[in-house]
Structure formats: C-alpha cells, structure tokens
Structure 1
Amino acid sequence: MRCAVLDDYQNVALSMADWDSLAGRVEVTVFREHLDGEDAVAAALAGFDIVVIMRERTPFPASLLERLPQLRLLITSGMRNASIDLAAAARAGVVVCGTASRSEPPAELTWALILGLARHVATENRAFHTDGPWQSTVGLDLAGSTLGLIGLGKIGTKVAAVARAFGMDVLAWSQNLTRERAEEAGATLAGSLPELLAASDIASVHVVLSDRTRGLLDAAALAHLRPSAFLVNTSRAAIVDRAALVDALRDKRIAGAGLDVFELEPLPADDPLRTLPNVLATPHLGYVTRRNYEIYFRGAVEDIEAFLAGEPIREL
C-alpha cells in the first residue's frame, strides 16, 4: 500500500515515529510543500491508499474524497477535524482515524501572543535589529488587568491558571458555561459575550468551531472591545469575522490582535492582515511542538498498523 504524509513543513515527520515498522507493507511518501487547491491535491494523491494529514492544513471535503477512489484510510492528527467530511468519507468507504494530542502547546502559544502584544515585543525586537529607537513603546501591566476567556475547556482552563499567576482578573463566557465550572477554573462567569468583551483588557478565543460559534465575534461583538483592548485567537479563524476584525484593526478601534489561525493557510502574501502593524501573528503554531508531533506521528503509525490488521482504532 502507498501512504502520503501531507504538509510536513519542517521535514520532521519521518524522524518523529518508527515508520520503518511498516517496511515491506507500506511505502511512505512525504509532501513538504502545501498542495494548493483541490485539483493539485487530487492529482498528487491519485495513487495513494492511505493519507496522513496534519490538523486542517489540507481540507478533505466530499468533492475531494469523490476524486480519490483508491483512498482507504485517512488519518488526522488529533481526534477532531472540521475540515473532513466524515459522512462523505463513510459513503466512499474511507476509514477516518485520529490520534492523541496535548492541550498544553496551544495554551502556551496563547501566552506567547498575549505577552508579545502586552509588551510590544515584535516592535521593540525589530527596532533592536534595525538600529531603530531604543524604547518606543509603553507596555500593558498584566497584573490587575482583566483577561476575558471565550471558552473555558481544556485549553481555556490552562490559560486561566497562568493568568491567575500573573495576578490578572479572569472572566469567562461560552454558551454552555456554568458559574460553578467557571469558579472551578478560578474565573468569574460573565453574563454575556458583550459583557465579557467590554470588561476585557485582553480577550482570548478558546471555543470549538461549530455552527453556533462560526462568526461569533462579528462587527457588533467586536464593537464592545475598548480601543485599548487586545484580541487573541489561537482556536479557529472562522470564529472571528475576518472583515470586521480587519476594519477594527485598521481603524484602531482595538489596540491589536494576536493571531495563530487563518481561514486560508498559508495566508496569501497580499492579505491585509500581513500589512497591519497592530497584528502579531504566527503561522498556526499552536500545536507545533516536538512532543505533540511525536504523539501525532506515532499515533499515525499505530493507526496504520491497526488498519492493516483489520481492527481500526481511534475512528472518528
């Protein structure tokens, strides 16, 4: 059988697991460069029985699955992937499996973005390396400031713990969040999303993308943020209305945004988010750590072994 590993940007997939255990049964091909567009993906994967994908880097909608009649096993890192049409996969006879994952890496990156925004790290670092002004910004004190968490699941709870260590007040809100659950995590339940946004010095998104949360932070919601407030999104881009966010940043109706997720990845070079000086961005690095990658790729090898044995594991 032939297996394709997609979007191995760092060229590390084969070093993160014992792929040699599949020798003689599975031929593995790694694609480092992103395949842009469904036609390119369909052409590249036409001869493969197994495909391993990294999160939502390459979507697998029904239209693509229909063009890959040889595909038998699709493996995604993690146990949730909104970019795979699971119903279409089932109709096509494609088994879809996932892997374990850790919630610490995205929580840690959230804090990298928060600290970078609060202390203008990118601006000062750029000046340091280009003989710019020696100090040109005044930072935000985290101690005594308010962090508003939109979502208080595994990741949001870890972010809240760090906020408390910094001496911040923590508010939290989501559609199903209870007062008891918020208090368990050391947060205060906000009465509504507008209430949370209006009170936040920094608002951070940690809900799962769904029909209920898509476009949750639209122009009306963003209008509740103060001009001095920052918005951080390490969850999913579509939770925030992109056009509304660009307008708010361009007009300086908010102080800035820390972004790790984008609806189109890699983000095109001419995207306006790349030109706004009050955007601190990373290229979807939330889950990109050595330990997480080892878990992902070792899990992928386990999934292939189980599939070959006729007993698939971790089916989505």
Structure 2
Amino acid sequence: MSSRLRLFTPDAQYPDDGTIERQTAGPDVDWTICRERAPESLPDAALAEADGIVVWHEMKINADFLARIPKCRIIARAGVGFDHIDLEATGRAGIPVCNTPDYGTSEVADHAIALMLALTRGIVSYHEHLVQDPIQGFNSALAPLVRRSRGRTFGVVGFGRIGTATALRAKAFGFRVVGYDPYVSPGTEIALGIERVQTLEALLATSDIVSLHCPLTTETRGMIGKAALQRMKSNAILINTARGAIVDVPALIAAIRDGEIAGAGIDVLPVEPPRADDAIALAYRDLKAAGVADRLLLTPHAAWSSPESAADARRLAVETVMLYLQDGKLRNLVNGDYLAATRR
C-alpha cells in the first residue's frame, strides 16, 4: 500500500501550481488543484482519494460535497471565515474543520482604518473630482465627510484579533474607542485600554465610526439592517471588513441616500461578485444618481490582500492539514461542538 497522502484544493486563489502548498506539505504528498466554484465541475476520482481538503472561500462544503470525499480526514479553510462550510454536516461525518485565523490580521485592520480615512479625509472624493476637472475640482470643500478624528468615538463590533488590531490603530489616531463583544471575557477591554459597552444598540448610538469585526453566524446575519442603521448617528460612518451578509446592503444604501447615516466603506458583500441586479451593482453604475456619491466606498474583498498575507494563508492551511494527518494534532478547530456530539 502507498504511504503517500493526497490533498485536494477545489477553489485555489493563486495562479501557480501550488508552489507553496507542495513545498509545505513535502515530497510525499500528491495534490489536485482546481479553480472551480461549482462542485459538479470537480473530478470525482480525485475527490474520492483525497485525505484532506484545503478550501478557500468559493466552494461550498455541504452534505453533497462530503458524500464525494469518503477518505477525507480533515478540511482546512485557507482563511478566516467559514460560513460556506456546513459545520454540523462535517461534524456528523467525523471530519474536523479548521480555519486559518493567524494570517491577514494587520492587513484587514489597516484596510478598515484606510476606508475610514479615505472617507473622513476625502481622499477618494478629491481624486475623483480632480480627475473630472483638475481646475474646478481643485476645491477642498468638495468632500462631504471630512472631519477631525481626534476626540471622536470609534466603535468596534467584535474585538477578537482583527477587532483588537483595529482598535489599537484607532486609538493611535486619537479616537475614543468603545467595543461590543459578548463572547470576549471581561477584562479584555481593560488590557486594550478601550471602553466596553454591553449592547450593540449602545455602541451604535454612541459611535461616530462603527467598524464590524465579527463572524457571520445565525446571530449576526443581517444584524446591521434598517433598525440598526436608524440607531446610528446621522453623521456616523459604517465600515465592514468582516462578512458581507452581516449588513443589509440595500438598507445601507437607502440609509446613506436618505441621510440616516453619513456614509460607509465596505469590502465584503453577501454575494461576491455582486449580481448585475444587486443594489450595490446598480448604485455603482451611477453613484450620483443613487444619491451616495462621495459617501460610499466599495473594495473587492481585498482587505486581507497582500503578497505576504496570501503566502501565510497558503502555508498555514497546509501546515494545519499535515499536523493532523501526520501527528493527529488539531489547531484552530471550528466544528468541535458538532464533532463532540457525534462522538458521544
């Protein structure tokens, strides 16, 4: 019998043939690397032989997918979010799911601050007006959201790794930082030097900037909808570098257009890329006509992105798989509750 391991990536997010993956796993591992979104496009034979799966964010892992990987012993998410993976189904199948939370922290925190600064210092507005007319556009009054940072309140929803990194950056700009996270132990806010509020409603009501850093769960899906947006200050700015479905995007666009909040910078969407008839796609065809020009910024799920971060995600995900397949050790397990229920 062969002692070689077989690993499978269904939705690779890199252009090479798994250079980092092959180097990390070692010479005794065979790889099948695909770049698909639809599971029906994947080769059945290679799936059936896979000892482990390294998945990115474009392939849904559900019961149908699991039926095609009978030999699989571990699934590693090359990234942080795992809402596209059915944790209950993987738990029933006895397959541990691990993510890679220790990459991209600095990049995402930097991006959240960058979106905030791009709006509150008018960077994008000034640039676009000058591109349209470098003479008439040379006017510092054309950016509507410019304000001083120092002394204002920056609200962090979720102060795990990335929320913490963002909070510390906001403090450096002179913000008063408040945080809401019902799952972080008491006293964490003291160590960070921020103020803790006990409800999301309190954070929304008091913050000039609201920055989202929570996972997508049944609790957080649609959490920032019409009611939440109406609780925010009329001069507040929403930043979302977490997960797209946390925010009701049509409600957000309406809130900006109607002056319920001042603006937003978002990096993530419920559907990526957006469909042609999605509210965000329609708005971006003519931001001025949509009533959100100079007040809405969208980036293409790029907050995590840097060459260093991409390399870390690739290497760490493979290390996680190999650690389990070779040594039986798990790190960053995310479906432990379902696994435990299966084994009881």
What's the TM-score, normalizing by structure 1? 0.83
Which residue of 206, 210, 218 corresponds with 1:203? 210
Consecutive unaligned residues of structure 2, counting only runs of 5 or more, are 288-292, 335-344
| 1:97–1:167 Cα change, 3 Å | closer
Structure 1 vs Structure 2 CA RMSD: 3.0
| 1:286–1:307 Cα change, 3 Å | same
1:134 and 2:138 correspond = yes
Aligned to 2:221: 214
1:32-111 to structure 2, matched below 5 A, reads: 35=37, 40-46=38-44, 47-48=46-47, 49=50, 50-54=52-56, 56-69=57-70, 73-78=74-79, 81-92=82-93, 94-99=95-100, 101-102=102-103, 103-111=105-113
SS at match of 2:155: strand
Which residue of 292, 303, 312 corresponds with 2:309? 292
- Deviations along 1:95-148, one digit per CA (max 9) or x if unpaired, are 534445232221111111111121232222233334352232251211122111
User: Which of the two has greater helix per residue?
Assistant: 2
Q: Is the 8 A contact 1:218 1:240 kept in 2?
A: yes
Aligned to 1:244: 251
Aligned to 1:14: 18
Q: Which stretch shifts more, 114-123 or 270-279?
A: 270-279
Q: Is the 8 A contact 2:90 2:97 kept in 1?
A: yes
Q: CA deviation at 1:7?
A: 3.8
Q: Is the 8 A contact 2:54 2:77 kept in 1?
A: yes
Aligned to 1:174: 181
Cα distance in 1 for partners of 2:122, 2:53 equals 41
Aligned to 2:170: 163
1:113-132 to structure 2, matched below 5 A, reads: 113-131=115-133
Which residue of 29, 33, 39 corresponds with 1:29? 33
Consecutive unaligned residues of structure 1, counting only runs of 5 or more, are none
Cα distance in 2 for partners of 1:288, 1:294 equals 10
Aligned AA (1:85): D
SS at match of 1:297: helix
Q: CA deviation at 1:233?
A: 1.0
Cα distance in 1 for partners of 2:216, 2:24 equals 36
Report % sequence identity: 31
Q: Is the 8 A contact 2:18 2:33 kept in 1?
A: no
